[in-house]
Amino acid sequence: MSTLYEQLADSLAQRIRDGGLQAGERLPSVRQACAQAQVSPATVFQAYDLLESRGLIEARPRSGFYVRKQARGKAPPAQAEPARADSTEVAISELVFEVLHSTRDRDVVPLGSAFPSPTLFPLERLARDGARAMRQLAPQALTTELTSGNARLREALRARSVRQGLQVGPDEPIITNGAMEALNLCLQAVTRPGDVVAIEAPTFYAALQALERLHLRAVEVPTHPQLGVDPDGLAEVIARHGVAACWLMPGFQNPLGALMPNARKQAVMRVLTQAGVPVVEDDVYGELHHGSTRPLPLKALDRESLVLHCSSFSKCLAPGYRVGWALPGRHSHAVHKLKMMSSLATSVPSQLALAEYLEEGGYDRHLRQLRLTLANSLAQLRQLVLRHFPAGTRVSQPEGGYFLWVQCPEQVDTLALHHQALAHGISIAPGALFSADQRFRSAMRLNGGHPHDARIAQAVRWLGDRARSAMAG
Amino acid sequence: MSTLYEQLADSLAQRIRDGGLQAGERLPSVRQACAQAQVSPATVFQAYDLLESRGLIEARPRSGFYVRKQARGKAPPAQAEPARADSTEVAISELVFEVLHSTRDRDVVPLGSAFPSPTLFPLERLARDGARAMRQLAPQALTTELTSGNARLREALRARSVRQGLQVGPDEPIITNGAMEALNLCLQAVTRPGDVVAIEAPTFYAALQALERLHLRAVEVPTHPQLGVDPDGLAEVIARHGVAACWLMPGFQNPLGALMPNARKQAVMRVLTQAGVPVVEDDVYGELHHGSTRPLPLKALDRESLVLHCSSFSKCLAPGYRVGWALPGRHSHAVHKLKMMSSLATSVPSQLALAEYLEEGGYDRHLRQLRLTLANSLAQLRQLVLRHFPAGTRVSQPEGGYFLWVQCPEQVDTLALHHQALAHGISIAPGALFSADQRFRSAMRLNGGHPHDARIAQAVRWLGDRARSAMAG
């Protein structure tokens, strides 16, 4: 599906990551590259543009393209944090509530936000599409298509899912109020109060909240900042704790941005299959790959119907519409029942706007543009952090999504920093949100999904200064 | 707020119910009535029209208006069913799922449906309003107004709630995905797994489902078909079972249609206040009064913030939009947090369509028309049941909503009847849906919210014939 220039950019990006092309090294001239790759000059230019927007190379006037320097000593951490031996009760919701609430002030610099800028979405077209579809709707459809969702939207999602290599049963997908509801319903379908659930460390705080709400216990599995959850660690945790289910995010994990390689996904599926443990897969960032290929969902490797796959349109197309979906495999009936019991159905106006949009076409064109924009703004944010934060800071280098995971030196307490920053009109997502214990107290998640502007530059500089002060004293 | 003719109709309806005006008795002539009530002939005509549409009187050509005969021996039951002594675990969801699923076929006569006919709602205007509001929305509002809901809609709801005599705190209302989510969140906010919850008998099946989903135990309180839950029975159940919360529906209870008199509401509040037990109030039918006055919500009598009040637009204005709300009083923070944890937010397109509609005005005019239509169609359904069902059948006489509760002689098994009826293209809601035990196995709920037509008449006749056959053996 990827174009020639995207393939060329991907292979160059791989060489930069491998060290085959070193920081400061000059890339082949356009003429050389044409000859090497057997492509046209236009293709090379487009590939170099793409790499520049992803922050990997820089143009120097009258000289050519060079691999961008990543500030010294600031590589992402090579090792995941060790996990605690015990399972723990979860009580994170009050902190999450407080932090999220505070970041919803429109005047605050939204580095702590979970959403990319809403200006990046085709909101006018969605409004138009929704109005047209609602006018044409047979009134009866308002009360007959309740729990499982609108037939047109389900059909469009089924087709997309099949193209991604997923098996879709006749009762799938089940449309939900955003991925949040899908994840919650799926987790509830495979657990009972008191059960132990394996989660990543760090993990998306919604997983912690879901565990708290359902009276479940958490056991955290070491998770590599680039490669995702450790299959051996997962096996050990399952063996030791009698885990009832897992909650994983193999594609552009929140907050790390980790993209699990396919071989690692296969290893994880082997572990889960052997133990017969179901896994709730959160794939909401899967479409936001910066490279040319969409990561394979865990569910595409699932032979035993152990994966309950969840996603949504909230980060890719339609924030605020609250439309997500679940592909729960053999747990579909249970999830369907839970959906009926907890919220009955999903907004028909929201579903119809999306059905109409998807049928008209143009979603993939929109995604292509969105990925470029996000890759660019994330790369810019990363450069700012590298420039302004103290030595010893480690910064993730995600290949998708729009989050940056920043690990400050241990003297920095990001929860304290969050309070100071908020008083200064800046939000961050402190590390404490992403674990049931205190081990990420010096880390933070920053949102790179907003177009670069002076306010953001000043905010990062201010954060870096405060981090430096914290180290000094 | 009620007009002169509505007041006159109300007082005559009261006399009919009291027996002051007997079945078959002639009403005062228009001239007499004008003199007695000091009103114009037009007012009397309108009042008589209203009573006729409510099925209470009938016009006889060239003779005048007469109190309609209610078929003999078919009065609503005077006594509620006795409640069981034990609290019980709930496992109703599979049956509810099966029944509801089957009633969603558009070709089935929808006597088992929970919704009135969708043709009764201003769907085109809502679609237009929604489109306009979405085009004017600042994109930032899509991600900043998340969990508690859209500010305009909240303000409109606040104003309406205050007019109904409710106290509304600064964090209220909390907008939810329909009343169903509001009820579920409120119940969860005041319970923990294993707790005992007092519910009505019969009760709305969603209460049973919520208990099942949250691993709660049910204890059923005797509920009078006209007067609602028994305050003494409630006090006894609370004393005996250590009840953590109640779930009540004081206004046009589903399935009975009972309207709790205000004195009884006060007695219930005294019992709850003395015991310090919170109550989840389901008020979704409160706006659908057939008389001229809106029933007072329990929350209007609540001095200690024990009532978590829930309602929605799904039955009054906008089915399929999935917009409800909660006024949880001092439990607002807990409900707000649970909302964030379970579905994050409610559809913005749905919320904005309703906000725009409410601001433009005309909701009360729509409600006035809707009440008349529903009172009329319910009265017609009631006449059909009285005509076609076997002797010994008892039929409720609700003063609001659109449900009829039909108690057949005990030889009739309505779950069996449901299966037979469905094969015949007719849905009903069998009594088994409305209790955790088997005591309503000869009852059924019928939906009178669809305009009268030959299909419905034939369906009721068919059901009556089957009930008679069941009695014959």
Whether A252 has a pLDDT exceeding 70, the answer reads yes
Span B388-400, average pLDDT:
95
Rounded to whole angstroms, how far apart are CA atoms A265 and A271?
10
Task: Decide which of A383 and B436 is more confident.
Answer: A383
User: Would you say residue A386 has pLDDT above 80?
Assistant: yes
For residue B326, tell me if it sits in a domain: yes
**Arithmetic mean of pLDDT over chain B:** 90
- A318 and A252 in a common domain: yes
User: Are A138 and A280 in a shared domain?
Assistant: yes
Mean pLDDT (whole number) for B308-319:
97
Over residues B98-106, mean pLDDT? 77
Structure tokens at A398: 């995600």
Residues A107, A135 within the same domain: no
pLDDT band at residue A59 under the 50/70/90 scheme: confident
> Taking the model in full, what pTM does it have?
0.86
Task: Indicate whether B384 and B345 sit together in one domain.
Answer: no
Q: How many CA atoms lie within 13 A of B38 on its CB side?
A: 0
- What is the structure's pLDDT at A141? 82
Out of A61-70, A286-295, B142-151, B436-445, the most confident range is A286-295
User: Is the domain of A103 the same as that of A150?
Assistant: no
The three-class DSSP label of residue B410 is: coil
What does the block give as tokens for A136? 């044409």
- Residues 6 or more apart whose CB falls under 8 angstroms from that of A307 comprise A278, A279, A281, A297, A298, A299, A329
Q: Which of B93, B340, B349 sits opposite A337 (nearest CB)?
A: B93
pLDDT band at A73 (very low <50, low <70, confident <90, very high): very low
What percentage of residues in chain B have a pLDDT greater than 70?
Answer: 95
Give yes or no for residue A1 having a pLDDT over 70: no
- Would residue B276 count as lying in a domain? yes
The answer to whether A119 contacts B139, with C-beta atoms less than 8 Å apart, is yes
Name the residue among A140, A342, A347 with its Cβ closest to that of B350: A347
Residue A79 is assigned to a structural domain of this protein: no
| 3-state SS class at B102 | helix
Task: Give me the total of CB pairs closer than 8 Å, taking one residue from chain A and one from chain B.
Answer: 206
* Tens of pLDDT, residues A253-279: 999 999 999 999 999 999 999 999 999
Provide the CATH number for the domain around residue B273: 3.40.640.10
Instruction: Report the alpha-carbon distance of residue A361 to residue B380 in Å, rounded.
Output: 49
Co-location of B108 and B192 in the same domain:
no
| pLDDT at residue A328 is higher than 60 | yes
Domain final position from A360, A393, A424: A360
Mean pLDDT of A118-144: 90
Question: In sequence order, which ranges of A38-177 are alpha helices (DSSP H)?
Answer: 41-53, 93-102, 123-136, 141-144, 151-163
Percentage of residues in chain B having pLDDT higher than 90:
72
Taking the CA of residue A62 and the nearest CA in chain B, the distance in Å comes to: 41
Q: Assess whether pLDDT exceeds 60 at residue A396.
A: yes
Q: Are residues A149 and A245 in the same domain?
A: yes
Confidence of residue B19 (pLDDT cuts 50, 70, 90): confident
**pLDDT at residue A71 above 70?**
no
pLDDT-derived band at A27 (thresholds 50, 70, 90) equals confident
In a shared domain, residues A195 and A263: yes
Q: Which of B343, B360, B377 is the last residue of a domain?
A: B360
Q: Tell me the C-alpha distance between A312 and A254, whole Å.
A: 15
Q: How much is the pLDDT for A189?
A: 97
Owning domain of residue B16: 4-67
Instruction: Confirm or reject contact between A105 and chain B (CB < 8 A).
Output: yes
**Which DSSP letter does residue A400 get?**
B
Residue B428 lies inside a defined structural domain of this protein: yes
Do the chains contact at A344 and B178, CB–CB below 8 Å? yes
State how far residue B67 is from chain A, nearest Cα, in angstroms. 36
Confidence band, pLDDT 50/70/90 cuts, at residue B23: confident
- The pLDDT confidence band at residue B188, using thresholds 50, 70 and 90, is very high
B316 pLDDT band, cuts 50/70/90, is very high
- Interval B292-320 mean pLDDT: 96
Q: What is the pLDDT of residue B7?
A: 84
At residue B199, the pLDDT reads 96
- A363 or A4, which is more confident: A363
* ipTM attached to this prediction: 0.85
**Nearest CA of chain B to the CA of A233: how many Å?**
28
Q: Which residue has the tokens 């204890």?
A: B219
Mean pLDDT lowest for which of A423-427, B43-47, B345-349, B362-366?
B43-47
Chain A residue nearest residue B205, CA to CA: A341
The shortest C-alpha distance from A2 to chain B (Å) reads 31
Task: Give the mutation candidate from A171, A186, A322, A350 for the B interface (greatest B CB count, under 10 A).
Answer: A322
* Residue B316 covered by a domain: yes
User: Does residue A430 surpass a pLDDT of 60?
Assistant: yes
- The partner residue sitting opposite B124, judged by closest CB among A93, A135, A142, is A135
- Which residues of chain B have a CB within 8 Å of the CB of A123? 134, 137, 139, 142
* Domain CATH code at residue B443: 3.90.1150.10
Which pLDDT belongs to residue B75?
Answer: 43
Does B217 share its domain with B308? yes
- Pick from A114, A92, A83: nearest CA to A229: A83
Residue B71 has pLDDT above 50, yes or no: no
Q: Is the pLDDT of residue A78 over 60?
A: no
Indicate whether A333 belongs to any domain.
yes
Asked which of B306, B341, B360 is the last residue of a domain, the reply is: B360
Q: Are residues A41 and A177 in the same domain?
A: no
Interface test with A, best of B143, B184, B204 (most A CBs within 10 A): B143
Q: Report the number of distinct structural domains present in chain B.
A: 3
Average pLDDT over residues B63-85: 59
Q: Which residue of B has its CA nearest to A148?
A: B101
Are A342 and B340 inside 8 Å of each other by CB?
A: no
Listed residue (A449, A377, A385) closest to A54, CA to CA: A377
| B216 in the same domain as B135 | yes
- Reported confidence tier of residue B83, pLDDT bands at 50, 70, 90: low
Predicted local distance difference test score (pLDDT) of residue B370: 97
- List all residues 6 or more positions away from B181 whose beta carbon is below 8 Å from its beta carbon: A342, A343, A344, B324, B339, B342, B343
pLDDT score at B70: 58
CATH code, domain carrying B58? 1.10.10.10
Can you give the pLDDT at residue A76?
47
Nearest Cβ partner for B127 among A106, A117, A134: A134
Residue B263: pLDDT band with limits 50, 70, 90: very high
- Identify the pLDDT of residue A82: 54
B121 near A CB under 8 A: yes
Return the residue in A323, A342, A433 with the most chain B beta carbons within 10 A, the one to mutate for interface testing. A342
Per-residue pLDDT tens over the stretch B204-235: 999 999 999 999 999 999 899 999 999 999 99
* Residue in B with minimal Cα distance to A147: B101
- Give a yes or no: residue B72 inside a domain: no
| Average pLDDT for A160-176 | 95
Strand partners, A248: A281
> Per the CB < 8 Å rule, is A349 touching B130?
yes
Of A113, A135, A184, the CB nearest to B342: A184
* Contacts with A, B 201-220, CB within 8 Å: 206, 209-210, 212-213, 215
Chain A residue numbers touching B338 (CB-CB < 8 A) = 213
pLDDT score of A139:
87
pLDDT at A405 over 90: yes
Residues of A in contact with B180 (CB under 8 A): 342-344
CB contact under 8 A, A142 and B123: yes
Domain membership of residue A73 (yes or no) is no
Give the Cα-Cα-Cα angle B363, B367, B372 (nearest 5 degrees): 155
pLDDT at B473 over 90: no
Q: Are residues A32 and A128 in the same domain?
A: no
Indicate if the pLDDT at residue A20 is higher than 90.
Answer: no
